[in-house]
Amino acid sequence: MTDVSTTTDADPKSSATYRGLKAAVIILGALLVLAFALVVVGIGMRMTGHAPGQSSAPGKFELPSGAKITSVNVVQNRLIMAVQTTGGNRIYIFSTDDGHLIGQIQPAGQTD
């Protein structure tokens, strides 16, 4: 009888594949924990009434000196205010959500 023994006593935990998979599992586990923490923080912010990116302070805007408001309109969530200034007419557009100035329109050639 021939004794053909091919016993390899190599530890499977020492292979490169095993170490790579172990590292991948650790990294993905850490990412799951981080994602869960972000979800909890997001829910907490929404429950307190603060959505991410929103300012809690209302907007503040001062008209140029000598300006007169000629008309005010509200369209969807925008306040549109026509103003007559010493340099000409302008239109200011504000957000009704937070009161901040979104933009202004003035005819070409008018100065500030």
Q: Which residue has the tokens 């307190």?
A: 48
Q: Which domain holds residue 80?
A: 58-112
Do 100 and 68 share a structural domain? yes
Contact present, 19 and 26 (Cβ < 8 Å)? no
Total number of domains constituting the chain: 2
Contact present, 27 and 35 (Cβ < 8 Å)? no
- The string of pLDDT tens digits covering residues 54-110 is 555 566 778 878 889 999 999 888 999 999 988 888 998 988 887 888 888 887 766
Q: Which residue has the tokens 């100065």?
A: 111
pTM here is 0.46
Q: What's the residue count for the chain? A: 112
Residue 24 forms part of a structural domain = yes
Report the alpha-carbon distance of residue 83 to residue 91 in Å, rounded.
Answer: 6
Do 112 and 87 share a structural domain? yes
Do 63 and 39 share a structural domain? no
Does 10 score more than 80 pLDDT?
A: no
- The string of pLDDT tens digits covering residues 29-43 is 999 999 999 999 888
Report the alpha-carbon distance of residue 80 to residue 92 in Å, rounded.
Answer: 6
Residue 52 forms part of a structural domain = no
Do 65 and 18 share a structural domain? no
Residue 20 forms part of a structural domain = yes
Residue 74 forms part of a structural domain = yes
